Amino acid sequence: MARSSLSTLYVGLLGLATLASGLADILVWAGAGPGVTFGILEIAGGDFFRWGWGGAVMVFGGLFMLSGLTHSGSLQQSAKVLLGAIMVGIIAGTDLFALFCESVPAGEGAPEFFNTASGFLGGIAPPYSPAILLLPCILGILYLIGRGEPDDA
């Protein structure tokens, strides 16, 4: 990571957002509140493996990003940030795959098996999980790590 304060602020805010969304996933799954839908963001919370376990992965991904902020030019700290970004990317990838797979088959009342093009596009429309919404920002972290030269290479 570059030593600039702007990239440190970017990673810090992204780490906090990842940590908060992971905690929200776990709290909604545990029954602390009903599912949340706000604009294009949705936290449903019904499935343990996605919302409970996936929320824990998001929490640890956010913690890795935040712990990588100290001495942000070193290779070890950049690796922590990259590990946190990869963890969020894995959860976002599984959410995108599930969204795609849920949109391919037609509804129960339809005579055909495959969905129409408009039905498929309607199935992949918002709202999205927090991991999917954080995915473009995670790609920004990959850019920041790629352009910086570590101090102790």
Between these two residues, 71 and 153, which has the higher pLDDT value? 71
pTM of the model: 0.86
Task: Kindly indicate the confidence band of residue 1, based on its pLDDT and cuts at 50, 70 and 90.
Answer: very low
Contacts (Cβ under 8 Å, ≥6 apart) of 56: 22, 26
Q: Where are the domains positioned within the chain?
A: 5-147
Residue 46, C-beta contacts closer than 8 angstroms, at least 6 positions apart: 29, 35
Question: Under a CB-based contact definition with an 8 Å cutoff, are residues 29 and 54 in contact?
Answer: no
Q: Residue type for 118, please?
A: S
**Using one digit for the tens of pLDDT, what is the confidence trace for 57-114?**
999 999 999 999 887 667 888 899 999 999 999 999 999 999 999 999 887 888 888 8
Residue with tokens 């992965």: 57
